[in-house]
Every structure is written in C-alpha cells, then in structure tokens.
A and B are shown apart, each in its own frame.
Chain A
C-alpha cells in the first residue's frame, strides 16, 4: 500500500510555553494545562502514517486534542512544531513548509473536510448546489451545464433529493446538511478527507446511514480518511486503525479490533468497558 500522509512529532500549544510544559502535562499528570505557566498543550508528539484508501480513527474525550490534530493538517490552525508529509502521486509535499497560497491550493484541490457543525463547512447564503459549485469553480471548471450536472450527481450520490438542490441548506435537516457537506468535500475527488465528529448530534438511524455512505465512498473512490470521534461505535464501524488520545498525547495506537478487544492502556480499558 502507498503512503499518503506521514505525520511526525506534531505539537500544538496555546500560550507562551515554558521548558517544563511538556514534562508537567499529559495523561500521567491528568491535565493538559501546564501548572507552571498556564499554557495549554493541546497536542504533543503525535505521529502516524496513513495509507491510500485507509480510514484512520482518532478517538478520545473532549479536549484530548483530536480535533486539533485534524485542524492543523487542514491548515485551519498552525502547529507549534512537527512535520507532515503529503504524498501526491510522485510528489511529496512538506505541509507545514508550504506558503499560505500553496496551502490553500492543496486544501481546495486535494483535501476535503466535513465539520461537526455544518455552519463551518457550508455557505448558508447560497443553495446546496451552489456550495458544490463553489468547490468546482475553485478547480477551474467554467461550464455552467457541467457544474450543474456534477453537483446533481454528487447530491444524488449522497442521497440528497435533487429537486432540493437549489434550496438553501439552511432549510435542510441536520442529516441532510451533513450529506451536503460530504458532497461538497467530495466534489474534487480529493485523495484525503477529514471527518470531524460528523455524526455527533444526529439521531441513530441518520447516523447509521451517513456512516454507510462514508464506507461506500471510501470503497468507491479509495479515499483516505481521518475520522475524529468520541463515539466507539463509529470507530468500530469505520476505522481500520485507531489512535487513542488523552490530554494531548497518543496513549495507544494500533488495529481497531485489537484496541477494542484487548486494550492495553488503563484509560482505553475504562473507555471500552464503559461503552454501552
């Protein structure tokens, strides 16, 4: 299998920082706030590889740093240190060394993001079709008919009624909004997709259908995905490999089955045991 993303030593701290920040935080100290200077160590020394068509789960409780990792990789936030290498065909891009213009280019052409809150991923001032058109227009498609056809196909693929494509997503249900977000993220057929708590806040039947959709897409397009969630069910269903994070550190990593059936770290054991 071909590697698509290599992340090494990814660290993000919020605050001034002091030499003792790293040694005084983490799961062993039960905090991610440095007691000496008040700096928040949101993520420290996160490392993983992602292969083509693979789904990697990042699991952890609120504030464990899982979203921070995805945000830095999608350039929503700058990391404090660390490296991330993106393999784009034959080319290798050092993500954090690119200038903002190159980062925006990658984001628009090669990455896709589905946020928990559709407000972040969608423009509610334009129609559902318009949201997808925007992504396509970024990719220099300039034919109105083609754009419309593509948008219709994508919405049909994500099971949004095509007679509602000219409506504002404002008037859609939460599950529909998530589907439009997924369609938008997929518009450019990106090789890498980030999913940040996509099913949180949706009811169970809708959740199941969205997860099915994600799996189908992964099989169809061979898209590599990073799925961030606190929901063990989502991890079990989607992810082949999983990282477990707590207080900004990766405490356990491995095959999802292994982690769920035979957790090594005490925290993971509690997490798995407490799952309904």
Chain B
C-alpha cells in the first residue's frame, strides 16, 4: 500500500476502524468471554477484510475492535516492524482509524499486533498483545474431528498430544516442536500459542499484559489474561526447554549488530556460505545499539 494513498471519496465515510460498530461489539464480546475462560477458543463471525485470510485478518479484527483515537499501535512481523505484512497492516489501521498513532517502540505502544514473535522487552499492564493465529487448535495434529477435539478440550484430555511428545523423545531424544508449542493455560485448556518460537512461550506465563489470539480464517478468538499461568506441556523428567543459542565452544552467540546475548536470534546465511546471527526483534536491537552509544532518550531508558 502506498503511504500517500487516500481513501476515495465514496469510501471515506467508512466507520472508525473499518468494521461497523455491531461487528466490533461482537468481537469485544468474544474477547470478554475468552478472558473469562482462559485458553478457551471462542468462536466469532470473522468478517471479510480487504485482504486475504491468512494475512493476519484475525489479529487485525481484534486490533480494530480494540483501537481508539488515543491508542498507540505497534505492528511487527517476525520481530520486524518493516516487513511487508507489518507495514501493510499498520498502514491499513492508520488509514481507517483517524487519530491513532503508530510507533515502532515497544514501550510506547498500547496495542501491539504481532505475527510469530513476542517483543523482547517485557510488556506492562497497560498494554495488549494481539497475536495472529493460523491454526488455533493445538489438538489438530492428533484429532481431525472438531467435535471430538471439543470434547477432549472440555475434559482436559491431552493424552494424545503428550503421546506425540513421547514419540518425539523416543525418536529424537528431545521434543521437536519448534514453534506453536502446546501450552496449558490456567491448568485446563491447552492452546496453540500461534507460531511463536519456544523462546517466547515463557513470556506468556504470568505476563502483566493481556495476550489475545485471533484466527481469522478459523474464526476463533482466545486469550491469556494478565497474571495467568501458562505452562508448556512436558514430562516431569523431560522439562520444556527453549532454543539453545550456544556455539560449539559453549558460548552464547551474540547479535552481530548490537552485541546482545539475551535475545532471540535469527540466522542469516551469507553469500560466502558462512552465517551470521542477529536479533529478530528489530526494536530491541536498535535500543541496544542506542544504549551502547548513549543516545537512548530519557523516556525509553
């Protein structure tokens, strides 16, 4: 989308936030229900959006129904503020929500819509994290029938999911799920936390910020309310573990750009066949660089 694009006159009287108020109200109700039943997948009437399903329409509808003119929005895609999906969604929201400001700084945002990452910087109580979800049901890998999955969720029967983990350990000596790691919320429902890496899963646990999940194509909304337990499925003697960023010599790999050793890293293959590691969260990386050069401004320190 061209940033100088303006809505044609006959479309300029779209409601604030593109969706009509009834649609927003329905989505807000689904959000409230999701918060009341942590981890439960609340069905909702996912609206047709002016972009393909699968491009974050679920997250977008959540964002649009939450946003007001005084909100500050950050949109990221795999940690980056500048990738196509993030740029498009951000421009669409600012176009349809006059007054709303956008930012790339995690700490300034009131709503953060994200695809496949949770920002490195810990969130606070006044922030809402909206995650875009392709597959909302963690049980879909073991049970094709939705009716049966619902019964399994209702009874908290996740034995078949655990059997999958058992099989992984038997075959590979470790659990091989790299993203979408099944996570139990508040001791009952197991959710698919969207394709965030394992590294981000512990951030959901007892998070001060509300986390909302929106699946546009699958028409489901679910939530991890603030200060709620989020426990990744594991065995008593084979605990959950996150990605290991240690090199052959046992040293933690540092970001090649900012030098941080405490962030989730992306592996970048270089032209000469070697590889380089860099923070996946671009805002965090910039912030570390500024900290180093002492140019970080007061409010963000």
A interface residues, Cβ below 8 angstroms from B = 100-101, 104-105, 123, 126-127, 129-130, 133-135, 137-138, 142-147, 166
Q: Smallest Cβ distance from B147 to chain A, in angstroms?
A: 11
The residue that A129 contacts in the complex, of B162, B164, B170, B236, with Cβ under 8 A, is: B170
* B159 CB contacts on chain A under 8 angstroms: 134-135, 137-138
Cβ–Cβ contact B167 & A138, under 8 A: no
Q: Smallest Cβ distance from B170 to chain A, in angstroms?
A: 5
What are 6 residue pairs bridging A and B, where the CB atoms are less than 8 Å apart in the complex? Answer: A104-B157, A123-B163, A127-B167, A137-B159, A143-B235, A144-B235
* B238 CB contacts on chain A under 8 angstroms: 144
The residue that A134 contacts in the complex, of B154, B163, B237, with Cβ under 8 A, is: B163
Does B155 lie at the interface of the complex (its beta carbon under 8 Å from any beta carbon of A)?
A: yes
* B167 CB contacts on chain A under 8 angstroms: 126-127, 130
Q: How far is the CA of A180 from the CA of B157 in the complex (A)?
A: 23
Q: How far is the CA of A130 from the CA of B151 in the complex (A)?
A: 22
* A101 CB contacts on chain B under 8 angstroms: 151, 154-155
Known contacts A134-B160, A137-B159, A138-B157; A144/B151 CB under 8 A: no
Interface size of B by Cβ–Cβ distance < 8 Å? Answer: 18
* A130 CB contacts on chain B under 8 angstroms: 163, 166-167, 170
Q: Smallest Cβ distance from B49 to chain A, in angstroms?
A: 37
Residue of chain A at shortest CB distance from B162:
A137
Does B296 lie at the interface of the complex (its beta carbon under 8 Å from any beta carbon of A)?
A: no
Does B169 lie at the interface of the complex (its beta carbon under 8 Å from any beta carbon of A)?
A: yes
Q: Which 9 A-B pairs have the closest CB atoms?
A: A137-B159, A144-B235, A138-B159, A134-B163, A143-B236, A137-B162, A133-B166, A144-B238, A142-B236
* A145 CB contacts on chain B under 8 angstroms: 237
Cβ–Cβ contact A147 & B170, under 8 A: no
Q: How far is the CA of A133 from the CA of B237 in the complex (A)?
A: 15
Cβ–Cβ contact B235 & A133, under 8 A: no
Residue of chain A at shortest CB distance from B160:
A134
* B164 CB contacts on chain A under 8 angstroms: 126
Q: How far is the CA of A123 from the CA of B163 in the complex (A)?
A: 11
* A133 CB contacts on chain B under 8 angstroms: 162-163, 166
Q: How far is the CA of A147 from the CA of B166 in the complex (A)?
A: 9
Q: How far is the CA of A142 from the CA of B159 in the complex (A)?
A: 10
* A134 CB contacts on chain B under 8 angstroms: 159-160, 163
0/1 interface trace, chain B 158-184, chain A, CB 8 Å (1 if under): 011011101101110000000000000
Cβ–Cβ contact A144 & B157, under 8 A: no
Residue of chain A at shortest CB distance from B233:
A142
Q: How far is the CA of A123 from the CA of B157 in the complex (A)?
A: 17
Q: Smallest Cβ distance from A266 to chain B, in angstroms?
A: 46
